Copies of this chain bind each other. A is one copy, B any other.
Amino acid sequence: MPTVTGHPERHAPTLEAVAEAAGVSRATVSRVVNGSPSVRGAVVEAVQKAIADLGYVPNRAARSLASSRTHSIALLVPEDVSRFFGDPYFASFTGGLDRRLADTEYVLNLVVARDDPGRKAVRYVRGGNVDGAIVVSHHRGHDFLRQLEGSVPIVYGGRPDVALSAEPVFVDVDNEAGGHLATRHLIESGRTRIATIAGPEDMPAALDRLAGFRRALREAGLPDDAVVHANFTASGGAEAMRTLLSRHSDLDAVFSASDLMASGALTALASRGVDVPGDVAIVGYDDSPAATWGEIGLTTVRQPSELMGATAVDVLLRLLAGDADVPHENIVQTELVIRDSA
């Protein structure tokens, strides 16, 4: 069997080499590489030609050692990776994040803080290994996040429900409004006994959607007591649906706080022979791929999750650039996508 040891680029050209080829000094090449405006056009061209000829690629390590900027940002996931990425919302958030980052020279480091309660991840972030961090899928009680404060700029995906000493910067969707929007739609289509499959009780986003649900019902003078919590999975949604059916035989509509749970609920309803939307109308949340999996298109609240990812990056880049007046709250709005289920 042949040996398979790989070797890094042999003798990758350095700044020095480019400088020599272009007949200028190292400093000038550095200026060109970093887009300094104070280099004569002719020189810029000469340097760029040399760079192209030699196939020069800046050495990240050297650069970051000299500048104490790493040009990498952490995607901090305080959760099991497979669960995180298995959620279409986060998958799409990460997609937006990556796409926005692709134009920059920043690189994404996946930092997972699942079983150690943040120690390793915190040390990594605080250890100056990244310029900034985007924290997603944080739950209430993730207090280790406090240890990140004051180290590097941090942007949260979703408002953090952790006692932080400074006002956190976050991007979030207006979950309360989203829950209200969905529920309002059910009310307006004449439903009167409306239940909800809410998300986990330790997640602010879930609670906000629930609050919106309740507000809409209160405003309409309808009862808001049919609530079951589930864990944002399809099987959880199916089970919650069964619970709701057994508890409230009169229910005619359900607002599910995620499409995945709604798809589970649809399955549960189908197997009970309940017609959707005839007997029971259902509105989901996310506009994820799950919304169109079934035969019945799911009416749902679209969260611009990709946009959120991109926004998180934008905000972080502004912080990194030293922009002083970056808004702390970056709220994106939801919209209703009407399909068949309600």
Chain B: which residue is nearest A167 at the CB level? Answer: B2
Flag the segment in A43-51, A185-193, A207-215, A233-241 that touches B.
A233-241
Q: How far is the CA of A303 from the CA of B248 in the complex (A)?
A: 40
**Contact at A9–B82, with CB atoms within 8 Å?**
no
Interchain nearest-CB distance for A120 vs B (Å): 7
Closest residue on chain B to residue A59 by CB atoms: B128
| B-contacting 9-mer, from A26-34, A194-202, A220-228, A289-297 | A289-297
Give the contact stretch, choosing among A17-25, A150-158, A173-181, A250-258. Answer: A150-158
A3 within 8 A of B: yes
Contacting B at CB under 8 A, from A311-328, are 319, 322, 324-328
Confirm or deny: A137 has a beta carbon within 8 angstroms of a beta carbon on chain B: no
Does A102 lie at the interface of the complex (its beta carbon under 8 Å from any beta carbon of B)?
Answer: yes
CA distance A204 to B127 in the complex (A): 42
A60 at interface by CB-CB < 8 Å? yes
Interchain CA distance A62-B80 in the complex, whole Å: 31
A83-91, A138-146, A277-285, A331-339 - the one binding chain B: A83-91
The interface on chain A, measured as residues whose beta carbon lies within 8 A of the other chain's beta carbons, has a size of: 88
Residues of B close to A62: CB separation below 8 A: 61, 65
Measured CA separation A25–B4 after assembly (Å): 37
CA distance A238 to B263 in the complex (A): 14
Task: State whether the Cβ of A274 lies closer than 8 Å to any Cβ in chain B.
Answer: no
Q: Is the CB of A152 within 8 A of B8?
A: yes
Alpha-carbon distance A112/B99, docked complex (angstroms): 9
Contacts of A132 in B (CB 8 A): 6
A52 at the interface (CB under 8 A from B): no
Which residues of chain B are near A61, meaning CB under 8 Å? 60-62, 64-65, 70
| A324, B150: Cβ atoms closer than 8 Å | no
- Smallest CB-CB separation from A5: which chain B residue? B322
Pairs across A and B, CB under 8 Å, 28 listed: A1-B328, A4-B166, A4-B326, A6-B150, A6-B319, A7-B152, A8-B131, A12-B128, A57-B126, A60-B128, A61-B61, A65-B65, A75-B110, A82-B92, A82-B306, A85-B85, A86-B92, A107-B109, A107-B124, A110-B110, A234-B289, A235-B292, A238-B293, A238-B295, A267-B293, A270-B270, A271-B294, A271-B295
Binding site for B on A (CB under 8 A): 1-9, 12, 57-62, 64-65, 68, 70, 72, 75, 80-86, 88, 90-92, 94-95, 98-99, 102, 107-112, 114-116, 120, 123-124, 126-129, 131-132, 150-154, 166-167, 169, 233-235, 238, 263-264, 267-268, 270-271, 289-290, 292-295, 306, 319, 322, 324-328
